[in-house]
Amino acid sequence: MNEKILLTLAGIGLLILASQWLAWRAKLPAILFLLLTGIVVGPVTGLLQPDQLFGPLLLPIVSLSVAVILFEGSLTLKFREIKGVQSVVWRLVSVGILVTWVITALVTHYALGFSWALAWLFGAITVVTGPTVIVPMLRTVRPNARIANILRWEGIVIDPVGAILAVLVLEYLLSSAGNGALAHVGLSLGELILIGSLSGLAGAEFLGLILRRRWLPEYLHNTAALALVLGVFSGSNLLQEESGLLAVTVMGLRLANMPKVNMEGILSFKEHLSLLLISGLFILLAARIQFDQLAKLGWGALWVFLAMQFLARPAKVWICTLGSDLKREERALLAWIAPRGIVAAAVSALFALRLEGAGFENADLLVPLTFMVIIGTVVLQSATAGPLARRLGVAEPEPMGFLVIGANPFSRELAKSLKQHGFRVRLTDTSWNNVKTARMEGLPTFYGLATSEHADRTLDLVGIGRMLGLSNSDDLNALAALRFRSEFGPDAIYTLRHKRIEDPDKQGVHADEAAMLFGEKATYGELAGRLARGAQIRDTLLTDAFGLEDYRATHGERALPLFAIDPKGRLRFYTSQSTPQPEAGWTLVALVSPDPDAAPATGPDVERQMGK
């Protein structure tokens, strides 16, 4: 018996890996493959039966998993980053939530015959979208920056807000089931909000104190954070039923915005843990769906999906964009994209289990209906949003910008040169000093690890289609090259050789994985040394009177060519595999060391120091 359980758990792990890999290869949200996998191993083949596998532990496992997922999601919500975002986002996550909630509840009640109580709960659960499904879709669709920012921030903010709404509705239902007095229900809701908020704030302050005072070694920070999250969730539920989800959401929000507390390491750990929990939950919950439940839903489920896609979302966007400067085409694409994700699936499963225990009719249909909406929105919108964006004329042009790994001095100088020539750039670094300096120099940045799950959800790659590995870490350049190879294509990946190694098999980045920037001799140390000795990035317009040979004769070894731009604006890097031969009309950009013995340049050599 134990061997069978162990084999099943190991099989779930392999299924998670396979589903995530397929999603990575297909460039589609992983949720789609996880759901289909769960359905195949569950109701189709009967290989996985979660209720028998976990027994009475299933509900606690789902509850604790949802708590960790909501905590991790709320950790990404920094209020300072939302300042300045268009007011449309705030309307979408406030007034827009109410619009979606009301329309979905009405259609669910009349199309499926759900009780008003269950219809209102389903509407509350499905108001969320979520970055885990939005971000992969945006990378495929490539809408313009305004649409991408609105959708991305809506997905981030609406997760905790929607979860709180669903928790409050559930508490109303459970309270009214035991006592119909409105005063009792109002008191229960007040207690839930008070206890959940205070528990979350207390947990956040305690963890913040631990981190600020360094009461624990760094290697125990992640363990302490996880233990406190689970403790706050359980303790809050003990004081007031159903308040735990609100508590962990408040805890994450407070920690994300707490001064002098570095949560990057904990956030990275929670991202990996949430990825495992999300993937496992989707497979387990999908495996619990029964075909007789789907048959019981009938055509009414289709009407619910169509109403959410063609009525609720357009109405929400139309109301929330009134008076804004968004174009009609931009509003149309916003009205089309709203896939549902992990929070809707996990919360529906958790609440269904609680409602079934309380004797609510049709509570068992809550999960299959939610999953049908998830699959429908993800499949339909993934397949059609890209062509629709191009037809409406709101899609970004071919992504020719650069994601720069590393925000060190050389990276910043090169990024300024690329930006000056009209190319979009975004620098990433885990060093706050480097990121801060880049921002002060007017360069777009991302603070964090470019290969992390956090970056997958929040790194803005609109207009970006190529990667430059310029960090001082071979391993990071190699990891980033592998991460973005499938997304940008192998011909769009370039890395810098950090140190000279004669044997390429001993290098972090192999020659067949990425082109070595600026030739075999251009190591990070050499470039940094040239900059320190006064070298500057300069661009030179070649002419018939001053061609490539004249340029070489003038500068010799002092000039290290970086890239060249032809008259049509196409950029070509100098690499270990490619050496452009620019002609008249081309612009040659190089890192030029000073020559104290040379006279000031005159004549046809037209050079401009970058930034001057």
Give one DSSP letter per residue of 161-230, joined into a string: HHHHHHHHHHHHHHHHHH---HHHHHHHHHHHHHHHHHHHHHHHHHHHHHHHHT-S-GGGHHHHHHHHHH
- Rg for the chain (alpha carbons), in Å? 27
Q: At what angle do helices 145-178 and 58-75 cross, to 10 degrees?
A: 140
The per-residue b/e assignment along 299-327, b for 16 or more CB within 10 angstroms, e otherwise, is ebbeebbebbbeebbbbbbeebbeeeebe
Q: Among 71-80, 202-211, 347-356, which stretch is predicted with the lowest mean pLDDT?
A: 71-80
Q: How much is the pLDDT for 76?
A: 67
Question: Who has greater pLDDT, 509 or 162?
Answer: 162
Pick the range with the lowest mean pLDDT from 1-5, 32-36, 578-582.
1-5
Q: Which two tokens stand for residue 269?
A: 């750990």
The reported pLDDT for the residue numbered 314 is 95
Least confident range of 222-226, 388-392, 429-433, 500-504:
500-504
- Helix, strand, coil percentages for the chain (3-state, nearest 5): 65, 10, 25
Most confident of 409-423, 441-455, 462-476, 546-560: 409-423
- Report pLDDT for 528: 87
CA dihedral 111, 116, 117, 119 (to 10 degrees): 30
Kindly state the percentage of the chain with pLDDT values over 90: 17
pLDDT at site 19: 87
The average pLDDT across 440-464 equals 82
User: What is the CATH code for 2-392?
Assistant: 1.20.1530.20
Domain 401-609 is in which class? alpha beta
Q: Do 2-392 and 401-609 come out as alike in CATH topology?
A: no
Give the start-end residues of each E strand in 93-152: none
Q: Could you give the CA distance from residue 24 to residue 22 in angstroms, rounded to a whole number?
A: 5
Please say if the pLDDT value at position 176 is more than 70: no
Query: What is the model's pLDDT at position 199?
Result: 93
**Residue tagged 């909501």 (tokens):** 70
Report which secondary-structure segment, H or E, holds 257: none
- pLDDT bin (cut points 50, 70, 90) of residue 79 is low
The answer to whether 188 and 175 have CB atoms below 8 angstroms apart is yes
Torsion, Cα 120 122 126 128, to 10 degrees, reads 60
> What is the number of other CB atoms lying within 10 angstroms of the CB of residue 171?
22
For residues 365-393, average pLDDT: 87
Per the model's pLDDT, the better-predicted residue between 479 and 77 turns out to be 479
Kindly list the domain boundaries of the chain, sorted by start residue.
2-392, 401-609
For the stretch 33-75, pLDDT in tens is: 888 898 899 888 888 888 888 888 877 887 788 788 778 767 7
Q: Provide the residue type at 204 as one letter.
A: A
Q: Which pLDDT band holds residue 606 (cuts at 50, 70, 90)? A: very low
Residue 264, pLDDT score:
64
User: Which of 126, 167, 155, 162 is closest to 371 using CA atoms?
Assistant: 126
Q: Is the pTM of this model over 0.75?
A: no
The structure tokens listed for 493 are 């990946």
pLDDT in tens, 254-311: 888 888 777 666 766 666 676 777 788 778 878 887 888 778 888 889 999 999 999 9
> 566 or 602: whose pLDDT is higher?
566
8 pLDDT band, cuts 50/70/90, is: confident
Dump pLDDT digits (tens) for 303-315: 999 999 999 999 9
Mean pLDDT value across the chain: 81
Q: Give me the pLDDT at residue 502, please.
A: 46
Q: And the tokens for 244?
A: 């735990």
Q: What is the pLDDT of residues 89-115, one digit of tens each?
A: 889 988 999 999 999 999 999 999 888
